[in-house]
Structure 1
Amino acid sequence: MKPRIGIVGSGFAGLALAIALARKGHRPSIIEKRSEQQLLGEGLFVTLAPNGMNALRGLGLAEEALAQGVETRGLVLHNEHGRVLGDLDYRRHAQAFAAPSVTIRRGALGGILLEAARTEAVDIRFGAAVQAVTETDTEVRVTTDDGVETAFDILVAADGLRSTVRQRVMPDLPAPIFNGLQGSGGIADIPDIPATNGRMLMTFGRDAFLGYIKEENGPVYWFNTYRAGADSRPARDEDLARLLADLHRTDPEINRRIIAAADPASLRVYPDYDMPGLPRWSTARVVLVGDAAHAVTPHSGQGASMALEDALVLAACIEAEASPTGAFQRFETLRRDRVAAAVRLGRQGGAPKKAQGWLALRLRDLVLPLFVPLGQKAQERLFAYRADLHPLAPPD
């Protein structure tokens, strides 16, 4: 008999895991505190690296993601004066790694996964926040804020950086740590901004970092990162808009136009947290995946891709092992070193964004051209892994 599997969280890891399990004959259930409209309405975007796109390929969803996203053919890094500090060419990704990099709105990717989950008849409860988790030798019982209690043989915590399940079941684990950066971003229709030919153009400005990509006749996908306190968001939308304009006041003119075109009401602030390495990702019947286990900072470009990989690998481990403990141990063995490499890459990518003062900025401009090729090699080692083909094989 197949185990009863509950998944808390309908993010990328949770939905992808449910799809993969359903196709192996399981009947997983998802519990999600957000509404369906909130899931589909997420306005910011992610870039899926080739390894993430190949994980989607394992679910038969890669082509749909490419159709709804923007193929990302490279990254170009500039300083505040427009000098090129690094140029990463992604045009050969489709040939070298069997998939391109793709930038896609978070809500669009969530919608693709949600539709596939429903096609597989996955049970999804929206608007149900977890209040209690009780684990015994034989099952896990989850109580939600509507008073419903459900029993599972396996519970998967796919509920993000501030995982409620992790806090309830493993309260001794360290909490996320704010790393001194936060950011914003959006998708804006700005017809007179030139297309970037598939390249994400990035600027290390004097006071903030900004990146954007734009297809011909398409919107501008933009994001920024800046030094700030964890709870320093201005009280009013208009004040946040003015803050961003001030942070980018010495940027190239196109950057200033992008910030000026942002709708203040749509702006959000996203503090950047590091997740300390957790000593364990599971108990006897509960396992952490995605950001709940190993949050990867956005500077790595690997957060969504690692979540999708986790889903395919965990589904394969549950199918291959006779017990939850065996499945969880195998999953962690396969994933821990690989995720650690992505975390290191993200921290290295975030460090130059903290530079301030004339000397630090000049040193950054001298050092980055030397380190960008090394960073690209580290990226490509991550890109080469195929969770869709070999989910139970140790990554190189």
Structure 2
Amino acid sequence: MKARIGIVGAGSAGLGLALALVRRGLAPVVFEKRTERQVVDEGIFLTLAPNGLNALRGLGLAAEALRRGVETRAIVLHNEHGKPLGTVDYARHASQFGAPSVTIRRGVLGEILLAAARSAGVPIHFGAAVSAVTNLDSGVAVTTGDGVTHSFDVLVGADGLRSTVRALVMPGLPAPSYNGLLGSGGIVDAPDVPPTDGRMLMTFGRRAFFGYIKDAGGPVYWFNSFPADEKQAQLIDRQAAPGYFAALHRTDPAINRRIIAAAAAEVSRIYPDFDVPSLPYWSRGRVILIGDAAHAVTPHSGQGASMALEDALVLAACIDAEATPEGAFRRFEGLRRDRVEAAVRLGRQGGAPKKAQGWLARRVRDLMLPLFVPLGQRGQEQLFAFRADDLPLVKPR
């Protein structure tokens, strides 16, 4: 299907799809409501699992991501007293799955994808919010905020959790729902914090969850997550956040408190954690949703960007292989739905222990986690083993 394809969203899903389509001889156009600077400054950091890095390999970008990130070789879980509760070993990922895990600044991943898309000649319109979408039998009309209307054979909504395309084209779908956790994080220079040797060190504190990783000679990548009312995110302004976080982690191990103190000037935003309920369909007419617009995966799974990049490769292959948009969309959903819903379930399971409040709940969690960590690792490894870059369907002809 040699279609004219519009893509809304210049995140991992949108830019990844644009690159995958170009590799198949198609000419997509990308619309992004944010500025270019906002795209490359977006968010804080993420961890690409082996399946995500392998998807990047399918775009020719895995080596660059690994070079600019921190290879992540284990996750070590501790209780509020610093007692180890379990280790998730990532050291064999490269030999097991063909790629390691890597922690990388979200904006750096955006830079890598954006530079590759530009080199490939993909037109990218920044500051181009979509204001209307008309889904016709013969095509899709997309109107941007400047009043200009563009025509395509296919439109892809890769515009994230609060997708404008989803709201305009599929308004009956359920909205994202807050899952009870707030979080923040940052990247801060802290020379007195020792490197973690590729381990992401995590603590289930009394009031909040905390994690960090530090490469030798590099900054500390840190994050936290804590149960609170959603409105709390708006009530804690930037000036108040350092004191609020210091109180949250007051009884944590000393190293966590040291990082929070070093990061006091860096805290800029607190993020509510949302789930998108399982959507009954991802497409309507000639419009399809991918990435977080279709199946937001909570940060607790470590799979959001990886699933978005997989979506990009698989949808490009389906569009190339099928004669009609409807056929491509059916094939895509058939290939992806069970897999992304498994990632969503894994993320929800990972978030549940972070909500434990009170002595008894924490004690039960500490007793149960050593039993459940190996099960969680097996669940992760089932996801990691998938090779989007090696599927017969996905390999360009």
Same fold (TM over 0.5): yes
Matches within 5 A, 1:284-323: 284-323=285-324
Structure 2 match to 1:72: 72
Q: Which structure 2 segments of 5+ residues have no match?
A: none
CA contact (8 A) 2:157 2:288 kept: yes
Structure 2 match to 1:236: 237
**Cα distance in structure 1, aligned partners of 2:266 and 2:338:** 41
**Cα distance in structure 2, aligned partners of 1:42 and 1:192:** 27
Question: Which amino acid is the alignment partner of residue 112 of structure 2?
Answer: I
Structure 1 match to 2:338: 337
Structure 2 match to 1:347: 348
Displacement of 1:341 in angstroms is: 0.5
CA RMSD of aligned residues (A): 1.0
Identity of aligned residues (%): 69
SS of 1:197 mapped into structure 2 = coil
Question: Which amino acid is the alignment partner of residue 9 of structure 2?
Answer: G
CA contact (8 A) 1:186 1:221 kept: yes
Would the alpha carbon gap of residues 18 and 46 (structure 1) be closer, same or farther in structure 2, given more than 3 Å must change? same
CA contact (8 A) 1:312 1:391 kept: no
Would the alpha carbon gap of residues 63 and 32 (structure 1) be closer, same or farther in structure 2, given more than 3 Å must change? same
SS of 1:312 mapped into structure 2 = helix
CA contact (8 A) 2:241 2:267 kept: no
Deviations 1:288-341 (A, max 9, x none): 000000000000010110000000000000000000000000000000000011
Structure 2 match to 1:221: 221
SS of 1:91 mapped into structure 2 = coil
**Cα distance in structure 2, aligned partners of 1:5 and 1:181:** 37
Structure 2 match to 1:38: 38
Would the alpha carbon gap of residues 281 and 43 (structure 1) be closer, same or farther in structure 2, given more than 3 Å must change? closer
Q: Does residue 1:16 correspond to 2:16, yes or no?
A: yes
Query: How many residues are matched?
Result: 393
Deviations 1:118-149 (A, max 9, x none): 11100000011111111111111111111111
SS of 1:388 mapped into structure 2 = helix
Displacement of 1:242 in angstroms is: 1.1
Q: TM-score, normalised by structure 2?
A: 0.97
CA contact (8 A) 1:47 1:301 kept: yes
Displacement of 1:392 in angstroms is: 3.4
CA contact (8 A) 2:188 2:266 kept: no
Would the alpha carbon gap of residues 43 and 286 (structure 1) be closer, same or farther in structure 2, given more than 3 Å must change? closer
Q: Does residue 1:269 correspond to 2:259, yes or no?
A: no
**Cα distance in structure 1, aligned partners of 2:393 and 2:30:** 24
Structure 2 match to 1:102: 102
Displacement of 1:43 in angstroms is: 4.7
Matches within 5 A, 1:149-160: 149-160=149-160
Displacement of 1:235 in angstroms is: 4.7
CA contact (8 A) 1:43 1:187 kept: no
CA contact (8 A) 1:316 1:391 kept: no
Displacement of 1:238 in angstroms is: 1.8
Task: Give runs of ≥4 in structure 1 deviating > 3 Å.
Answer: 263-266
Q: Does residue 1:190 correspond to 2:190, yes or no?
A: yes
**Cα distance in structure 2, aligned partners of 1:25 and 1:252:** 54
SS of 2:368 mapped into structure 1 = helix
Question: Which amino acid is the alignment partner of residue 338 of structure 2?
Answer: D
**Cα distance in structure 1, aligned partners of 2:79 and 2:194:** 20
Q: TM-score, normalised by structure 1?
A: 0.98
Displacement of 1:243 in angstroms is: 0.9
Structure 1 match to 2:120: 120
Question: Which amino acid is the alignment partner of residue 87 of structure 2?
Answer: D
Displacement of 1:231 in angstroms is: 2.3
**Cα distance in structure 2, aligned partners of 1:204 and 1:377:** 21
Structure 1 match to 2:379: 378
CA contact (8 A) 2:186 2:266 kept: no
**Cα distance in structure 1, aligned partners of 2:373 and 2:152:** 47
Question: Which amino acid is the alignment partner of residue 312 of structure 2?
Answer: A
Question: Which amino acid is the alignment partner of residue 115 of structure 2?
Answer: E
Would the alpha carbon gap of residues 338 and 256 (structure 1) be closer, same or farther in structure 2, given more than 3 Å must change? same
**Cα distance in structure 1, aligned partners of 2:361 and 2:25:** 56
**Cα distance in structure 2, aligned partners of 1:274 and 1:70:** 28
Displacement of 1:264 in angstroms is: 3.6
